Every structure is written in structure tokens, then in C-alpha cells.
Amino acid sequence: MPSLLEARFCPICAAELETRLVDDKERLVCPACSFILYINPKVAAGMLIEDDNKVVLVQRGVRPAKGTWALPSGFAEYEESIEESAVREALEETGLQVEVDDLLGVYSYHSEVVGRGVLVLFSGHVVGGEMRAGDDADEVGRFGPDELPPMERIAFSTHRQALHDWKQAKAVVVRPATVGEANAVTRMRNEHEFLWERDYTRFVQSQDRELFVATEREEVVGFANVSPQANGTVLLEQIFVLPQYRRWGIATRLIDAVIGFGQQHEARALISVVPAVSPALIVYLKAGFRIAGFDQTYYPENTWGTNTALFLAYDLINQ
């Protein structure tokens, strides 16, 4: 099948195309109606589905890379949003109904078969369906971080990179901090200019408060600090994850640790105060927090472009 690079005739008036310099680039132009043939990259959508701490992969039943393993993915359709394309591909190839959680990454690729393209990859979770191979997949399976097929058996470079990042993120450990890690959190705070200063070593040394850290190979990549309140609640004061780790659910794992802390202390609710424009707000809401109120005096004016703070609550009694 000829590609657009080999096109000869105008799709509007059928006149023979010719090469002209347009916008400092040689392009195919129709001399009769002035139509310009722009050759754009193909857009594909994919889904990294995590189920019970395992990732869902399909074994390709068609070329290219027939017989190798891949994330559920395929080309976006014109009438779909990119998220809808990713959900559809997941259903067609795995039989699973999936909801999008987050954008994991945008990857460029170059294939001899389809040319240049862009893969938009989302994370998602299963909400229904039954796992079965479908569409152009011969087999579907779930793989833990240490169960992945060899990288040479993963179909595409973009999928290999995504799975490498996923495996790396799964190796991150969330646990109570040591004094040395509290000092690392202090350095992190200084580098990223948090609004409130804290003596994080006190959280480690206190029997009532706690500092949780997320570590990769002994390096602190995120933290959350909590303290019980007199009204039977637990206050999540701060939560922070280094930017390069934010796509992989580490903030949610820190929140899970804080929820466990609240349950151990028999608190009735977990509370937090978040700037109304903070990008972390969506993480709280997805974790089950609800907006319980707001205050326009909690934060110094213009710290975040607004001084409005949202009070969030997570009910622990019925959990």
C-alpha cells in the first residue's frame, strides 16, 4: 500500500501534485487548487492497566512484531478523544473495561511499517469485563515487575521504556522515615521551597507523629508527614513527590500509608488543607477525600496565585 510520502494526485481535484517549498520545507502541493498535503505523524493511544500490582500485556497476533508482547494500544480514530481511543483499544485487545487514571507519557516512535508517530500512554484500572485475548491479540496475561517477558520480547521501544519506568516505580518502598531520611526531606524542602518549614526529625522522634518516605535504592523521592489532632482526627500536613516520579501513583501509596496511620490511632477522619489551585488536589480526590470547606486566610496571599485553601476530609470510621 503506498504511503502519503508516495502520493501523486490531489485528493481534492485529482490534479497531479508537485513539490514546492512551503514554510521552509518541501511539501506536495496541488498546482490546480493549491491544496497542500501535510504529512503528519500517526497518533496511537495505549493503556498501562495495573491489576493486583501486575500489568496487563497482550501477545501480538499480527505484524509488525507478531508473537511479541505489548501494552494494549492502537491508532486513534478521528471521532474519538485520545482517552476514548485508549479505553477502546484496551477493551478490544484484553476484554477488560477500563477507566483512565492518569497520563503516563507521550512517546515518539519511527516504524518502517507505519512511519513516524506518537504514542499517548495512560494508566488505567479495571472496572468490568473478562480478560480474554481479542482483536489482533493471540494471548493476554498479567505480569508482576519480576515476571515481565525479556525486553527483547517486548514489541516496541516505547512500550519497553514505559514498562522499564513502571518496574522502577514498583521498586519504590513507602515506610516510616529514619532520622537520616528526615534530614534528606529537609534538603528536599529547601530545594523545592515549600510554604511551611518543619523540623522533620521531630516527626521521626515523636511517638504520636509520623514521617513517611518513599525511597528508591535508599534515595528519598517523596514524603508525607502526619500528626494526630485533639478533635480525634489526623492531619496530613504535607505530601510531596519529586516531579519525575509523579506519574506512577507514589503519592497515592503515601496517602495509603497515612490512612493506615489514622486507623492505627483510631481516628475518625483524616484531614488536610490544600491550595485550591494545587495540582495535588486531584490525587486527594481520587484517593477518596471530599471537600469539607474552604478558607481565604489560611495561606499567605499570592503564594499560589490565590490564597484560597480547601479543607479535605477522608472518613476513617466506616473504612
Known catalytic residues are: 139
> Nearest to residue 318, comparing CAs of 258, 277, 254, 259?
259
**CB-neighbour burial class of residue 149 (10 A; exposed 0-12, middle 13-18, buried 19+):** middle
Sheet holding 309-315, edge to edge: 173-176, 210-216, 219-228, 233-241, 269-275, 309-315, 290-295
Q: What is the CB-side half-sphere exposure of residue 148 using CA atoms within 13 A?
A: 24
Which residues are 235's β-sheet partners? 227, 271
Q: Within 10 Å of residue 112's Cβ, how many Cβ atoms?
A: 6
How far from 125 is each of 54, 80, 98, CA to CA, in Å? 11, 20, 5
> Nearest to residue 103, comparing CAs of 127, 77, 80, 121?
121
Residue type, 102: D
